[in-house]
């Protein structure tokens, strides 16, 4: 069990640039989640995939954010035209379809927008 | 509006001093309540799932309990390595898990 891996772990970018994060879930997990976490806050739901289908998106997710999960394996989260308010830890989690409770989180990708 | 509220925000304990963390929720149609531990700079790590009022789960020095409106995470005789942020999350309709803001626990040797 190699766990959920995320890349890059840290990203510093200038306002207005585009950034992309990658998540590799645990191989047998069908469900994949993206969360955002800022300092002192709990993780905030962004979006959810079952296999390759994006089934839910937070209404807080602006149109600058897009996520994909081609072939139901790894996932990417792209942020276009980054803003300073996008600075946060972006967490990916995966779970088995049959287990609704236990999310396995990666170590996150920390974004700093200057 | 659905809410998950954790208290206290921060807790400092002497090693061996037992205490409890609280998670209160107002979601309707609860499908599960979950406790996670998060170390600085890391992703949350799953601890427990509770599904119905009266249910209890234990793991080493931790015990989680659930009522119809809140959950408690009891920490018995904590050690410094128990220092972390403890997050509560609820799962109701759909497939979203709503997290509280967490309790930051510091255990002093």
- CB-hemisphere CA count at 13 Å for A36? 19
Quickly state the pLDDT bin for A98 (edges 50, 70, 90).
low
Strand partners, B9: none
| DSSP per-residue string spanning B16-31 | T--EEEEEEE--SS--
Q: In this complex, do B43 and A4 lie within 8 Å of one another by their Cβ atoms?
A: yes
Q: Work out the pLDDT band at A56, boundaries 50, 70, 90.
A: confident
How many residues are listed for chain B in this entry? Answer: 109
- For residue A19, what pLDDT band results from cuts at 50, 70 and 90? very high
Q: What is the nearest CA distance from B57 to chain A, expressed in angstroms? A: 14
CA distance B102 to A40: 8
Best mutation target among B27, B84, B97 (most A Cβ atoms within 10 Å) is B97
Instruction: Give the C-alpha separation, A58 to B99, whole Å.
Output: 14
Say whether residue A106 is in contact with chain B using an 8 A CB cutoff: yes
pLDDT at B92: 72
Spatial strand order in the sheet of A19-24: A5-7, A19-24, A75-79, A65-68
Please report residues of A whose CB lies closer than 8 A to that of B94: 56
How high is the pLDDT of residue B31? 84
B19 touching A (Cβ < 8 Å): no
Q: What is the CA radius of gyration of chain A?
A: 13
In this structure, the strands spanning B84-91 and B103-108 are: antiparallel
Are A42 and B101 inside 8 Å of each other by CB?
yes
Element (H, E) at B63: strand B62-66
The answer to whether the CB atoms of B32 and A55 lie below 8 A apart is no
Q: E strands of chain A, at which residues?
A: 5-7, 10-13, 19-24, 31-37, 44-50, 53-57, 65-68, 75-79, 88-95, 104-105, 109-113
pLDDT in tens, B47-88: 999 999 999 999 999 999 999 899 999 999 999 999 999 999
Q: Which of B4, B87, B95 sits opposite A48 (nearest CB)?
A: B95
Give CA B59 to chain center in angstroms. Answer: 13
Nearest CA in chain B to A41: B101
- Count residue pairs from A and B with Cβ separation < 8 A: 60
Cα–Cα dist B102/A85, whole Å: 21
Quote the DSSP letter at residue B82.
G
Task: Give the three-state DSSP class for B86.
Answer: strand
Largest CA distance in chain A: 41
The pLDDT value given to residue B97: 84
Residue B24 contacts A where some CB pair is shorter than 8 Å: no
Which among B34, B44, B45 has CB closest to A101? B34
Please indicate whether, in this complex, the C-beta atoms of A93 and B43 are within 8 angstroms of each other: yes
**CA–CA separation, A91 and A81 (whole Å):** 20
């Amino acid at each position: 069990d190699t766990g959920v891996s995320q890349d890059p772990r840290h990203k510093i970018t200038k306002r207005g640039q585009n950034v992309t994060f990658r998540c590799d879930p645990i191989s047998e997990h069908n469900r994949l989640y993206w969360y955002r976490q800022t300092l002192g806050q709990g993780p905030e739901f962004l979006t959810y995939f079952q296999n390759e289908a994006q089934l839910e998106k937070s209404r807080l997710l602006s149109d600058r954010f897009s996520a994909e999960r081609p072939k139901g394996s790894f996932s990417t989260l792209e942020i276009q035209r980054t803003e300073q308010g996008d600075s946060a830890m972006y967490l990916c989690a995966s779970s088995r379809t049959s287990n609704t409770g236990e999310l396995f989180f990666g170590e996150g990708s920390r974004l700093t927008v200057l | 509006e659905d809410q998950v509220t954790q208290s206290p925000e921060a807790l400092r304990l002497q090693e061996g001093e037992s205490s409890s963390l609280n998670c209160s929720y107002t979601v309707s149609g609860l499908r599960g309540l979950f406790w996670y531990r998060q170390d600085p700079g890391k992703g949350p790590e799953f601890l427990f799932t509770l599904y119905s009022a009266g249910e209890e789960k234990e793991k080493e020095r931790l015990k989680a309990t659930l009522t119809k409106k809140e959950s408690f995470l009891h920490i018995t005789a904590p050690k410094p390595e128990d220092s972390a942020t403890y997050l509560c999350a609820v799962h109701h309709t759909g497939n979203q898990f709503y997290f509280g803001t967490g309790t930051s626990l510091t255990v002093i040797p």
